[in-house]
Amino acid sequence: MPCQLPLQDKKLVQIVDAALLDAEWRSGDRLICRPGCTPCCIGVFAIDQLDMLRLRDGLAHLDTTDPERAARVRQRARESWERVASKFPGDVHSGVLDDDDKAAEEFEEFADYEPCPALDPDRGTCDVYRWRPITCRVFGPPLRSEGGLGVCELCYHGATPEEIASCELKLDEANALEAELVEELEKSGSKGKTIVAFALTGQSVASGQCQVACSCEGQRVD
């Protein structure tokens, strides 16, 4: 069966966006993320199958609302993939990253200076902003990981550790739902992680049968 963006993804996005708004409110002017600020759009990162489906859902929507923009995104994605594919630590045919220690080590320094193909280089904004990966949605405010509490290096200048901690992004509910949705996709055969450039080229991922049925009818592109 073709892979389809789970209906619950809309709930996930709403939970994440609400958590982000709350963190932004607590951060005040310490959080300087604005349209046109693009350092976080440089450098490749891994996305899961849920992110991949969401991105392709957005691109399918752009095909009907702004086909020229969709074509530019695909062109940048193809050019980006061509630049990085030779050193991709995974299967270049399926776009799936290897999950062993060697591949993880290689990915640490993989395409660190490659711009995201979703980034419009003239406007400094994301062409698929509404459908962007979860990683992009949570970047900026203090976010807890195994390494501790991290923030964007451009933000929270002069803030004390306590002030930074008070602005932490709360994602327990979102993390639980995301894990559940990814597990469901894996059971259907959509396994492994890829990168944005591959996802936006429109090629198949994993089993080679993954196609997106657009579930965003009636949505408006900002």
Q: Please name which of 198, 172, 27 lies closest in space to residue 110, comparing C-alpha atoms.
A: 198
Other Cβ atoms less than 10 A from the Cβ of 95: the count is: 24
CA distance 54 to 132: 7
As given in the structure block, the two tokens for residue 209 are: 């049968």
pLDDT of residue 215: 38
pTM: 0.86
pLDDT, residue 95, reads: 94
pLDDT (tens, 9 = 90+) of the chain, 222 residues, equals 346 899 999 999 999 999 999 999 999 999 998 888 999 999 999 999 999 999 999 999 999 999 999 999 999 999 999 999 999 999 999 999 999 999 999 999 999 999 999 999 999 999 999 999 999 999 999 999 888 898 898 999 999 999 999 999 999 999 999 999 999 999 988 889 999 999 999 765 444 444 433 333 333 333
- Indicate the domain borders of the chain: 9-201
Within 13 Å, how many C-alpha atoms sit on residue 140's CB side? 26
- The whole-number pLDDT of residue 203 equals 62
DSSP string, 84-131: HGGG-SB-TTT-PBP-SHHHHHHHHTTTTTPBPTTEETTTTEETTGGG
